Structure 1
Amino acid sequence: MSFDVTLVTYETLPDGGTDDQLLAQALSATGARVRFAVWSDPAVDWSAAPVTVVRSTWDYFHRIAEFAAWLDLAASQTRLVNTHRVLRWNMDKRYLADLEARGVAVVPTVFVRQGESVDLAALCADRGWDELVVKPTISGGAFGTKRFAAGQIPGEAAVHLAGLTETREAMIQPYLAAVETERERSLVFLGGGFSHAFLKSAFGIDYSASVLHRPSAEELAFGRRVLEAVGEPVAYARVDIVPSAKGPLLMELEVIEPNLLMGLAPGSAERLAGLLLG
């Protein structure tokens, strides 16, 4: 059986999340034949649809090599959205260094290679960081992400970092109080155009408290610069930023499996459906 669009999800959510259901409804309303498929299901024929949209693959960071192999396979049989190159690049948060090199202001970040030893207390003293966030470079849903106060840096934070780097690469960032006091802002772009924005909770775990946000002109311009720095168009993206005294800073660029909260913005699912079928 053939389809027009495949929406990709994972084993725990075989029928997709709320965003995916809205998108499926919008696609079906045009007459398109839509299916959900689990990325790790070996029985799926990815060539059965010309367009395959990576949406709720929320376990990929636990199965990194397997997911990367799947991307290669799927890209050989269908058109991936977003593109294979962008998805592979965005898997590892070292993309922040790439964007910074292209002129994007990002949250200060130190990357630590697997097996590398770091004197965390000395690093923080040198940079003037008194609260930290330590997390894997390939992560999602706050997996492996922990915040540490100043007194915890020589002990608990160093132990957590060493534990992460036994098996994977990690990253260290200063904790920015603005993620709680002013809240992180998520700007959603569809086809390169701004769609809507919302405020996230700290660490972005609970989306139920998210509310619409009217971004400033500065925030909108910043979001567009981030997308320009990617180097190729993306069908959907979420640009997560945090305010600072120097202007917006990029926390993350999500183009793999972001919550877009399209339910907050009537018509956004229909716009994305049109982009996918256009």
Structure 2
Amino acid sequence: MSGSLAIAGREFPWFDDRLLADELTSRSVEVDFVDWRSPDFEPADYDAVYVSSTWNLRQDPDGFLDWLARCEADGRQRLINDAPVLREGVIKSIYLTAMAERFGEDDKPEGSITPSRFYSLMGEAEHNTRPAAGTSLSDITAGLDESPEWQGRDLVLKPIVSADGHDTYIVVRSGALPAVRPEHVLDLTGADEAFEGIVQAPGGYGAIVQCYQRGIEAGEYSLVFLGGAFSHGILKPPGFRSSDTSQRRALDPAEIPPAMLGFAQAIIDWAATRYGEGAVTRARIDLIKGEHGPVLCEFECVEPNTNLRSFDEAARASIVPGYADAILARMAQLRHHSGG
């Protein structure tokens, strides 16, 4: 037996999780699928807990963060990815601020971070949020427009803790309507109401305001990294909030712009410095083509869809063993850390 692993997700296992579990089981790993919300789950029964498809965490982010703490309450490190990675991945304002400080928000050939600002009702220094009580998005944009990179730009408005485009909108200010469905578009009056609802939502962590990147209308590159190395990538179809997985296309590595792949690897290397070597076992990096270079949309480390459905059976057969290798390598590191 090579150890025991709990793959934590929803009530029903995800397609990609089943493929991974089959591969690990063939290598003598005892694998169980667990619902992170189940009161019967005992983390101490497992050598490692792999957080994989917990897409419903946005409904109870505090409960999820408490669950992460419970997974290691006995003092043994067993979470994959590591606990600090998962916590900051839930509260996106933390890692996006740190990334902006490292890579900058100015569109440049080597890559940049989407310009983002964060607001909560009272402001939380720990989460890098500014106070929103007594103000409106209209007031905020008036201040942002003092900077050339924000002036007159369309905006994206969404919750700090979000998933699958929930409560995500484009705020049109440029007069040029983006190529998106009308229900995703707000004028500034409608955006004021949506912003207020997001920052006042019970149990919420606040709102993200970002510059809308028109490069999304040409498609989004989703690059998956396993064990710190590039594994595979897909191209999402053009459009904002394009969640139709059937339209995603598997990419040949040669189709990925070298600057984009290089920037993604630089982000993975930054994460190893920030969180520790081996702390990020699986990540998905979503990027678009900016005017001058790649622009980061999302660094997903909590429950990234690895998009294996987009590949044919032969391609999956070459990807999944590497996926299992990365999990097994981290399990071995965790056993070493615990003295096991």
Q: Same fold (TM over 0.5)?
A: yes
**Does 2:113 align with 1:106?**
yes
Matches within 5 A, 1:76-225: 76-77=73-74, 79-94=78-93, 95-103=95-103, 105-115=112-122, 116=132, 117-118=135-136, 119-123=139-143, 125-126=145-146, 127-150=150-173, 152-167=186-201, 168=204, 169-180=206-217, 182-201=218-237, 202-213=240-251, 214-225=255-266
Q: CA deviation at 1:220?
A: 1.0
The 10-residue stretch of structure 1 (97-106 or 36-45) with the greater mean CA deviation from structure 2: 97-106
Distance 2:22 2:115 in 1: 40
The CA RMSD over aligned residues, in Å, is 1.9
- Structure 1 range deviating more: 76-85 or 191-200: 76-85
Instruction: From the superposition, tell whether residues 194 and 179 of structure 1 become closer, same or farther in structure 2 (CA, over 3 Å).
Output: same
Measured against aligned partners, the alpha-carbon deviations of 1:117-137 in whole angstroms (never above 9, x if no partner) come to: 241452464422342210011
List 4+ stretches of structure 1 deviating above 6 A. none
- The aligned counterpart of 2:180 is none
2:54 to 40, 44, 57: 57
> 2:220·2:236 contact (CA, 8 Å) conserved in 1?
yes
Do 2:103 and 2:113's aligned partners in 1 also have CA atoms closer than 8 Å? Answer: no
Q: Hey, what's the Cα distance between the residues in 1 that align with 2:90 and 2:52? A: 13
Identity in percent: 28
- Ranges in structure 2 where 5+ consecutive residues have no aligned partner: 105-111, 123-131, 176-185, 330-340
1:141-189 deviations in whole A, cap 9, x for unaligned?
A: 1111112322744301111111111133101112222112x21111110
Q: Is the 8 A contact 1:114 1:170 kept in 2?
A: no
Between the aligned partners of 2:33 and 2:5, the Cα distance in structure 1 is 9
What amino acid is aligned across from residue 216 of structure 1 in structure 2?
Answer: P
Amino acid at match of 2:260: E
Number of equivalent positions? 273
Map 1:247-266 → 2, pairs under 5 A: 247-263=293-309, 264=311, 265-266=315-316
Query: Residue 22 of structure 2 corresponds to which residue in structure 1?
Result: 25
Instruction: Give the letter for the 1:6 counterpart.
Output: A
SS at match of 2:33: strand
Residues 70-81 of structure 1 aligned to structure 2 (within 5 Å):
70-77=67-74, 79-81=78-80
Instruction: State the TM-score, normalizing by the size of structure 2.
Output: 0.76
Taking structure 1 as the reference length, the TM-score comes to 0.92
Q: For residues 166-222 of structure 1, what are the alpha-carbon distances to aligned partners after superposition, in whole Å with 9 as ceiling and x for unaligned?
A: 133101112222112x21111110001101111124325222211123312101110
Q: Using a 3 Å threshold, how does the CA distance of structure 1 residues 121 and 52 change in structure 2: closer, same or farther?
A: closer
Structure 1: gaps of 5 or more residues: none
The 3-state SS of whatever aligns with 2:266 is helix
